């Protein structure tokens, strides 16, 4: 895949992952959960399949894009995010808010929504919650486990911001402490452009 096309596709995926990551990280901060999971994002130009690791305000996402693995590490505790470029042992650095789609904080907090009732999702009972978005102009839906984990979210498109509609699902969830090394820059990587 052409480097420029890979970079542009990576940045588009990063924005979508940021949307999904904000949902997951917000709940982890509120509930104190630590887990890994497979995250499915159905959207344009997707679908995307990521492996995510969450530990409070630290997050890692490994996504397959164009036959290559794209890794994003978000460290909200340090206010930074790193996009790893394994092929060149480099990384790009950005503000954590940029990687998390800064316009979204607070919009997908299930505690701000209204419960729509109980439903069965992947064999377990969950709460379906309607969450206002885009200054109350639209509604997103989240299916939340008894532990407070958003297992599925349906996010509407927004023409004004260019955000595509997305359905985000978690599967193969493994609860427990995550290896701290997952959330650090790998040894031998250098900042792109230096």
State the pLDDT confidence band at 31, using cuts at 50, 70 and 90.
low
Residue 8 domain flag: yes
Encoded tokens for 1: 């895949």
**Single pTM value for the model:** 0.76
Residue 168 domain flag: yes
Residue 190 domain flag: no
- Asked whether the predicted pLDDT for residue 47 surpasses 80, the reply is yes
* CATH code, domain carrying 158: 2.50.20.10
φ/ψ of 130, rounded to 5, equals -95, 125
Encoded tokens for 64: 């397959």
State the pLDDT confidence band at 99, using cuts at 50, 70 and 90.
low
Q: pLDDT digit string (tens) for 124-171?
A: 999 999 998 877 788 999 999 888 888 999 999 888 878 888 898 999
Q: Looking at residue 158, what DSSP letter applies?
A: B
Q: Quote the percentage of the chain above a pLDDT of 70.
A: 78
Residue 83 domain flag: yes
Residue 142 domain flag: yes
Residue 184 domain flag: no
Whole-number average pLDDT of the chain? 80
Helix H, strand E, coil C: the string for 58-76 is: EEEEEEEECCEEEEEEEEC
Domain count, the chain: 1
Domain that holds residue 24: 3-177
Q: Quote the percentage of the chain above a pLDDT of 90.
A: 37
């Amino acid at each position: 895949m052409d480097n420029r096309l890979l970079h542009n596709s990576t940045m588009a995926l990063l924005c979508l992952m940021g949307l999904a990551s904000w949902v997951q990280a917000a709940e982890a901060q509120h509930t104190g959960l630590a887990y890994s999971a497979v995250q499915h994002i159905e959207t344009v130009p997707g679908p995307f399949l990521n492996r995510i690791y969450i530990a409070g305000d630290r997050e890692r996402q490994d996504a397959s894009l164009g036959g290559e693995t794209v890794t994003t590490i978000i460290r909200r505790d340090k206010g930074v995010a790193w996009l790893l470029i394994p092929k060149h042992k480099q990384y790009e650095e950005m503000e954590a808010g940029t990687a998390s789609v800064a316009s979204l904080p607070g919009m997908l907090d299930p505690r701000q929504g209204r419960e729509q009732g109980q439903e069965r999702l992947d064999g377990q009972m969950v709460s379906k919650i309607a969450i206002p978005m885009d200054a109350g102009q639209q509604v997103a839906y989240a299916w939340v486990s008894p532990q407070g984990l958003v297992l599925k979210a349906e996010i509407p498109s927004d023409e004004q911001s260019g955000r595509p509609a997305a359905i985000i699902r978690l599967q193969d969830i493994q609860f427990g402490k995550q290896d701290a090394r997952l959330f650090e820059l790998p040894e031998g990587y250098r900042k792109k452009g230096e």
